[in-house]
Structure 1
Amino acid sequence: MTTHVVSINISRKKGITKEPIKYATLKENWGIIGDAHAGNWHRQVSMLSEESIDKMRKYGYELKYGDFAENITVKNGDIFKLPIGTKVKIGDTLLEITQIGKECHTSCAISQTIGKCVMPLEGIFLKVLKGGEIKVGDKVIFYTDDLVKEVI
């Protein structure tokens, strides 16, 4: 089963959910142009799988892409099981996983409503190694080394 992008999401300021867009430009060592979380740090881009979101939908809430503040939502992949350092190719871009999960310093809207949130456990964070454009529908390939080796 091929992993692919089902949504690209950005927000103009921090602390709010992200809104879906059809395509985005990734800038090397920065992140997604126009996203408030972009910058010269190790969490330039966030990613979450639709399967992780579905775990939260089981609580009876209607959740949209971007509600967990993820930049890229993918389908068909347990991405949180990949090791740090895994390369991620989307279109002409190349990213690298730098962190899996994160500590929630303040409760997000999802956690306040449902009482728990999947992003701190199953969200992944990446830095942009090679920029370019990505769009909804793009295939996502994960590599464990510099060789072309798909792991999901």
Structure 2
Amino acid sequence: MSPHAVVQAVAASPGHGFSKPLQPAIMLLAGLGVEGDAHMGVTVKHRSRVRADPTQPNLRQVHLIHGELLDELAGAGFRVGPGVMGENVTTRGIDLLGLPRGARLRIGPEAIVEITGLRNPCSQLDDYQRGLTAAVLGRNPDGSLIRKAGVMGVVLAGGRVAGGDRILVELPAPPHRALERV
């Protein structure tokens, strides 16, 4: 982990669209998520999950993507930037995908987000740009699927988050559990 991990950008949207417009700052609310965002709430807000069971706990209150992924995708010819793939927080200097379940991110002076799992890329990525879904998926040498479209988390402590805010990583006690899709 870099000692210089920061928030690159923040985004939120009250509607269930694909991309989220960039904001100067967002407010994280403990136990709920991003104030004013369509995915805010104690129970699931993702439409397909609501149809399956609307009483499920919302483990996807905050979506984070590492800005380095956006660089990789842009280098492959995709038109992507912060907020485009629906994330609330774009980071720099953190291997988000390498974090264990339960890792905590202290973002800015007050906010704490606990990582719950990996975002599962959906077909909306290809609706935005053909081939984007495949570009955020890979394979390990053993053939297992690698999901690169960011991580999801829940808000443990609220606070204002803005571009340039410092991020500190706190790992849970071992044994560490690898992230799975949520």
Q: TM-score with structure 2 length normalisation?
A: 0.73
State the partner residue of 1:88: 105
State the partner residue of 1:23: 25
Which one-letter code corresponds to 1:138 in the other structure? D
Match of 1:51 among 65, 68, 79: 68
Q: How does 1:38-77 map to 2 (within 5 A)?
A: 38-40=40-42, 41-77=58-94
| Deviates further, 70-79 or 52-61 | 52-61
Tell me how far 1:8 sits from its aligned partner: 0.3
Tell me how far 1:37 sits from its aligned partner: 1.2
Match of 1:142 among 148, 165, 169: 169
Choose between structure 1 and 2: higher strand proportion: 1
Tell me how far 1:116 sits from its aligned partner: 2.6
- Equivalents in 2 of 1:13, 1:122: separation in Å? 20
For residues 39-74 of structure 1, give each alpha carbon's deviation from its aligned partner in whole angstroms, at most 9, with x where no partner exists: 111110000011011121122233221111000001
Q: List alignment gaps of at least 5 residues for structure 1.
A: 147-152
Match of 1:101 among 94, 104, 119: 119
Tell me how far 1:93 sits from its aligned partner: 0.8
Task: Please tell me whether Structure 1 or Structure 2 has the larger radius of gyration of its CA atoms.
Answer: 2
| 8 Å CA contact retained: 1:87, 1:95 | yes
Percent of aligned positions with the same letter in both sequences? 29
- Equivalents in 2 of 1:13, 1:133: separation in Å? 21
Q: List alignment gaps of at least 5 residues for structure 2.
A: 43-57, 138-146, 174-182
| Deviates further, 15-24 or 111-120 | 111-120
Tell me how far 1:103 sits from its aligned partner: 5.0
Tell me how far 1:76 sits from its aligned partner: 1.4
State the partner residue of 1:150: none
Tell me how far 1:82 sits from its aligned partner: 0.4
SS at match of 2:148: helix
Tell me how far 1:36 sits from its aligned partner: 0.6
| 8 Å CA contact retained: 2:64, 2:91 | yes
Where does structure 1 differ by over 3 angstroms across 4 or more consecutive aligned residues?
none
- Equivalents in 1 of 2:130, 2:170: separation in Å? 34
Q: Is 1:5 aligned with 2:21?
A: no
| 8 Å CA contact retained: 1:9, 1:71 | yes
SS at match of 1:56: helix
